[in-house]
């Protein structure tokens, strides 16, 4: 019997786990990763805020009130915060990569299943044909509005002239930090 052979049974179980992991990986590629961080800047608040607005406008963000129907995906906690909205464009490289990853995963699954169940083998290798759906899934789910909320405060502490509190996608925050690093923006150390 098929299940009396431990090698076949373990291969079937490991292949099933691989397919489940592949599905979770493809689904996680579209997950929104929102974080909140605080930075200190060596610029005064009245100079930092316009610089931030220019930076975000160069990255296709607009004020939420001027965003032509795009709704903010996260809410500001205070009225003084500036809310910006922009469209996230999906990555062609990631869409192709996910499709190739799905093709390799389905090919492995089909080959292992063809070895275990020779009569079904031809049909299971046909799963490779549906692998472009992984790229289509990513493309549709990751094309969405993205919100950035920031607040600049005048605060002379820790050697800084102003404090920036920002909430948005972690990649957007990392890009902001590297763009303003030369201007003296550093992570704010919280008092404990």
* Assigned domain for 192 exists: no
Residue 124's contacts (CB-CB under 8 Å, 6 or more residues apart) are 109, 110, 113, 114, 117
Q: Are residues 104 and 150 in the same domain?
A: no
Q: What is the pTM of this model?
A: 0.67
DSSP-based three-state secondary structure for 72: coil
| Per-residue model confidence as pLDDT tens digits over 37-84 | 888 888 888 888 888 888 888 888 888 777 666 555 555 556 678 888
Residues 66 and 161 in one domain: yes
Q: Are residues 172 and 84 in the same domain?
A: yes
Count of domains forming the chain: 2
Q: What is the CATH number of the domain that holds 167?
A: 3.30.310.80
For residue 149, the cross-strand partners are 83, 167
Please tell me the distance from the alpha carbon of residue 59 to that of residue 87, in angstroms, as a whole number: 10
Whether residue 151 sits in one domain with residue 84:
yes
Same domain, 100 and 84: no
122 lies in the same domain as 57: no
Question: Residue 41 pairs with which residues in a beta bridge?
Answer: 162
The pLDDT tens digits for 114-130 are 887 788 777 877 888 99
Res 179 pLDDT > 80: yes
Host domain of residue 104:
2-29+92-141
Chain-centroid distance of CA 132 in Å reads: 20
Is the same domain home to 128 and 39?
Answer: no
181/17 Cα distance (integer angstroms): 43
Collapsing DSSP to helix, strand or coil, 42 comes out as: coil
Res 188 pLDDT > 90: no
Query: Are 118 and 104 part of one and the same domain?
Result: yes
| pLDDT at residue 174 greater than cutoff 60 | yes
Q: Is residue 17 part of a domain?
A: yes
Q: Could you tell me if 101 and 80 lie in one domain? A: no
Mark whether 67 and 45 lie in a shared domain: yes
> pLDDT class for 192, splitting at 50, 70, 90?
very low
pLDDT above 80 (res 107): yes
Please check whether residue 79 lies inside any domain of the structure.
Answer: yes
Q: Are residues 156 and 180 in the same domain?
A: yes
């Amino acid at each position: 019997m098929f299940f009396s052979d431990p090698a076949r049974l373990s291969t079937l179980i490991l292949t099933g786990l691989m397919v489940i992991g592949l599905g979770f990986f493809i689904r996680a590629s579209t997950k929104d990763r929102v974080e909140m961080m605080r930075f200190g800047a060596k610029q005064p608040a009245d100079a930092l805020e316009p610089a931030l607005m220019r930076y975000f406008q160069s990255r296709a963000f607009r004020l939420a009130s001027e965003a032509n129907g795009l709704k903010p995906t996260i809410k500001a906690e205070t009225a003084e915060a500036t809310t910006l909205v922009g469209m996230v464009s999906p990555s062609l490289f990631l869409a192709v990569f996910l499709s190739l990853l799905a093709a390799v995963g389905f090919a492995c699954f089909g080959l292992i299943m063809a070895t275990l169940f020779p009569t079904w083998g031809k049909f299971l290798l046909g799963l490779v044909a549906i692998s472009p759906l992984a790229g289509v899934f990513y493309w549709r789910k990751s094309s969405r509005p993205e919100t950035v909320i920031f607040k600049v405060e005048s605060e002379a502490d820790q050697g800084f002239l102003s404090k920036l509190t920002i909430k948005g996608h972690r990649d957007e925050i990392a890009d902001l930090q590297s763009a303003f690093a030369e201007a003296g923006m550093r992570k704010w150390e919280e008092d404990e």
